[in-house]
Amino acid sequence: MTPVLDVRGLAYAYPDGHQALFGVDLHVHRGERVALLGPNGAGKTTLVLHLNGILTAGAGTVAVSGLPVEKRHLAEIRRRVGIVFQDPDDQLFMGTVRQDVAFGPANLGLRGPALEARVMSALEQVGMAAYADRPPHHLSFGQRRRVAVATVLAMEPEILVLDEPSSNLDPASRRELAEILTSLEVTVLMVTHDLPYALELCERSVVLHDGVVAADAPTSELLVDADLLARHRLELPFGFDPVVAADQLAARRTAAG
């Protein structure tokens, strides 16, 4: 089966000569939720910007559902790959929530009732339909993050890429976002160094360090390997026991059926 995301031997150096990626291999299959872990400066954001062709690979290839990320496919690639950036203020720039969510699908050529339906369905998926006519900058930070997710969902992407989705959220907003993300039936690549969040949301984790993939394993196995975490500057929050958390998670999933 063709993976949704197929990255092979991806290397990239910034124009100033700083090399951020040294041959990254990564496959994400349909329906998977994968966490991309790594310390600051590991090249996570650089990798993300390759997935929809904002940056062009110096060496290696990126393909989305078999379609290579190349200039002539950019419009389709950007529909297939939905990136939610870290700061919602960067992503929400129109006068109202509705206009902001409509921005992407309108660029895809949707008009009239079809556009409206797409917008409302995306807003309902994140529980923000009641705020459609509000200006985004008057919403709370958690609400803005959810609208930012909706702006991307409205393009019906094949893979949702989230850059540090839990950053700056209070615990309640954090849990609400987790509930929304688990309820979505979409492939997810989540960039984070929030290890408990990765465990809660993603079955599989990939560790990126110094521009290469350093580990790729089920999240619950990865988080109990203290040596591996220490080697890659990853740390669990004080008092967090990944074994206990994994048990709780398993119990919750069984209860949910």
Residues that bind another protein (CB under 8 A): 49, 52, 54, 75, 78-79, 81-83, 85, 87, 89-91, 93-96, 98-99, 102-104, 106-108, 112, 115, 133-135, 137-138, 151-152, 155
Q: Which residue has the tokens 């895809």?
A: 108
The amino acid at 177: L
The closest alpha carbon to 164, from 12, 38, 62, belongs to: 38
> CA end-to-end span of the chain, whole Å?
28
Residue closer to another protein, measured from CB, 98 or 193: 98
Residue closer to another protein, measured from CB, 159 or 207: 159
CB of 11 to another protein, least distance (A): 21
CB of 49 to another protein, least distance (A): 7
Residue closer to another protein, measured from CB, 91 or 187: 91
As a whole number of Å, the CA-based R_g of the chain is: 18
Residue closer to another protein, measured from CB, 65 or 99: 99
- The pairing of beta strand 5-13 with beta strand 59-64: antiparallel
Contact in structure between 101 and 91 (CB atoms under 8 Å): no
CB of 132 to another protein, least distance (A): 9
Tokens of 123: 């807003």
How far is residue 233 CA from its own chain's centroid? 21
CB of 151 to another protein, least distance (A): 7
CB of 92 to another protein, least distance (A): 8
CB of 196 to another protein, least distance (A): 27
Residue closer to another protein, measured from CB, 22 or 103: 103
Report in angstroms the alpha-carbon separations of 125 from 61, 110, 121, 185: 33, 19, 6, 10
Helices 141-153 and 97-107, axial angle in degrees (round to 10): 20
Residue closer to another protein, measured from CB, 40 or 254: 40
Residue closer to another protein, measured from CB, 189 or 207: 189
φ and ψ of 33, to 5 deg: -120, 115
The closest alpha carbon to 148, from 209, 74, 91, 216, belongs to: 91
Q: Which residue has the tokens 């206990």?
A: 244
